[in-house]
């Protein structure tokens, strides 16, 4: 058997994955899955991880779905009180997305990072990338090193409330995407 082939999530992915955001009143109890990542008391730094997607013409990607998967501050995945998984739509006007989460800790030999998965119209197979942090030592991270002279596209910028990563699907500043 071989893996089922991927198909684009299309322009209406929000209906299926964030139906309340899409305006389907009351669907699934009015709660979109993945909206809340912090579900209990977990030690560590709360932060907002935000970002925005842009296409090759620099236009915001306003119809995408973004999922993130990240460790808790202690470097483990999905401990009590923290789901490690978040799902958000990009904004219909600005293409921005926003996760209320915790700053991840190092995972084994890997520097703190957030795995990011992007699906949307025009994307046939979901795009995977990672966010790293400007205030951490990323030099020993093998995946960061793999990105070579394009690794800076993976480094989020510090903001007042956390960190922000611009994701460029195409163009001069094209983000590094991974086959993993």
- In the range 101-130, which residues lie near another protein by CB under 8 A? 107-110, 113, 115, 117, 119-128
Which lies closer to another protein via its Cβ, residue 145 or residue 161?
145
CB of 160 to another protein, least distance (A): 27
Out of 47, 52, 82, 84, which residue is the one contacting another protein (CB under 8 A)? 84
Nearest to 13 by CA among 37, 38, 34: 34
Region of 171 on the Ramachandran plot (φ > 0 left; ψ -120 to 50 alpha; else beta): left
For position 43 contacting another protein by CB under 8 A, the verdict is no
Sheet containing 96-102, strands listed edge to edge, beginning at the edge strand earlier in sequence? 96-102, 46-54, 162-168, 157-158
CB of 161 to another protein, least distance (A): 24
Beta carbons within 8 Å of 168's beta carbon, 6+ residues apart: 53, 54, 153, 174, 175
For position 59 contacting another protein by CB under 8 A, the verdict is yes
Interface positions, 19-38, toward another protein (CB under 8 A):
19, 22-24, 27-29, 33-34
Cα separation, 52 vs 168, in Å, equals 8
Beta carbons within 8 Å of 136's beta carbon, 6+ residues apart: 106, 111, 112
Phi and psi at residue 40, in whole multiples of 5°?
-160, -165
Which lies closer to another protein via its Cβ, residue 147 or residue 156?
147
| Angle value at C-alpha 86, between 100 and 145, nearest 5 degrees | 95
Which lies closer to another protein via its Cβ, residue 108 or residue 160?
108
Which lies closer to another protein via its Cβ, residue 47 or residue 71?
71
Out of 17, 47, 52, 156, which residue is the one contacting another protein (CB under 8 A)? 17
Q: How many residues bind another protein (CB under 8 A)?
A: 73
Interface positions, 137-176, toward another protein (CB under 8 A):
141-143, 146-147, 150, 169-170, 174-176
């Amino acid at each position: 058997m071989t893996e089922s082939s991927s198909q684009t999530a299309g322009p209406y992915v929000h209906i299926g994955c964030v139906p309340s955001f899409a305006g389907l009143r009351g669907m699934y109890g009015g709660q979109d899955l993945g909206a809340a990542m912090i579900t209990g008391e977990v030690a560590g730094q709360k932060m907002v991880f935000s970002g925005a997607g842009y296409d090759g013409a620099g236009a915001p990607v306003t119809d995408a779905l973004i999922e993130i998967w990240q460790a808790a501050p202690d470097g483990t995945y999905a401990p009590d009180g923290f789901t490690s998984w978040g799902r958000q739509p990009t904004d219909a006007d600005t293409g921005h997305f926003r996760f209320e989460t915790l700053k991840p800790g190092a995972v084994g030999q890997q520097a703190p990072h957030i795995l990011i998965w992007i699906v949307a119209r025009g994307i046939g197979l979901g795009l995977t990338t990672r966010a790293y942090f400007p205030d951490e030592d990323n030099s020993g991270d093998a995946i960061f090193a793999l990105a070579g002279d394009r690794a800076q596209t993976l480094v989020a910028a510090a903001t007042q409330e956390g960190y922000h990563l611009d994701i460029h699907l195409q163009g001069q500043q094209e983000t590094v995407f991974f086959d993993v």
